[in-house]
Amino acid sequence: MAGHSAWKNIKHKKAAADAKRGKAWSKCVRAIIMAARSGGDPDANISLRAAIDEARYHNVPRDTIENAIKKGTGELAQDNIESALYEGYGPGGVAMLLEILTNNRDRTAPEIKGLFQKYGGNLGASGCAAYLFASKGQVLVAKAGTPEDKVMEIALEAGADDVADEGDHWAIVCAPNQFMAVRQAVAKAGLDIASAGLTMVPATTVEVRGETAKHVLDLIEALEDHDDVQKVHANCDIPEEELAALK
């Protein structure tokens, strides 16, 4: 019976992982379709390059990526997907931006509002939080065997703004119009790219601890799990010891 119980738990974990992978793939496909509407050449379309990189990070099959591009360019039929940016505040006054891709705004808006309310936050009006963030390109490079001075030299020569310490990775940050050049320089140097894409970087952060930090993380996780939410950006600063305690 003990062996049976262990196998049952493994199956549950595997099912959960497969479900999350399927959801991630679906979100990647939507992002590629939307980006490809502005052009199907990833070398000339920053958003498409970033979306493809994200899809490859999630191991989306090549033919699925190619079909998504064709849907975006109109070569294949596609769903009526539109983009939106939702703004709000979580527990502790943490500002949040949500990148949305949906085929039904009338369904998505109340669902997102309900999640904010459930976890002690509020979905706000347009403009209430966006001013606290700036659009940036970001390339994450694995730290192992890669000294900071080497990453810094490559990044700055390619036009990046900064290199930050993100735990297991070096985060190279740049202006959106420099993203392609920076990414190509990092790849050409043979550095291990963990992920690359466009993101929203907060100008200021809000430190949260204890139960407030837990509620913020619970809200972010719930929002990220929603089918129509592509990305969640938040200006929370949770100290490492707090994260360790929460884990």
Q: Are residues 51 and 89 in the same domain?
A: no
Domain ranges, residue 157: 133-202
pLDDT score of 133 more than 80: yes
Q: Both 115 and 230 in a single domain? A: yes
pLDDT of residue 85: 96
pLDDT by residue (tens digit) across 31-64?
999 999 999 999 889 899 989 988 988 889 999 9
Q: What local confidence, expressed as pLDDT, does residue 21 receive? A: 67
pLDDT of residue 4: 35
Query: 69 and 7 share a domain?
Result: yes
Same domain for 224 and 140, yes or no, is: no
Domain boundary among 73, 97, 117: 73
Q: How many whole angstroms separate alpha carbon 222 and alpha carbon 111?
A: 11
Contact 222, 115 (CB under 8 A): yes
Confidence bin at 247 (pLDDT 50/70/90): low
Pairing of strands 133-142, 82-89: unpaired
Residue 2 has pLDDT above 80, yes or no: no
pLDDT band at residue 214, thresholds of 50, 70 and 90?
Answer: very high
Give CA–CA dist 69/130, Å, rounded: 29
Kindly state whether residues 11 and 123 are assigned to the same domain. no
Domain count within the chain:
3
Mean pLDDT of 152-179: 92
Tell me how far apart the terminal alpha carbons of the chain are, to the nearest angstrom. 30
Q: Are residues 43 and 98 in the same domain?
A: no
Residues 14 and 50 in one domain: yes
Do 169 and 153 share a structural domain?
yes
Q: Is 234 found in the same domain as 178?
A: no
Same domain membership, residue 219 and residue 126: yes
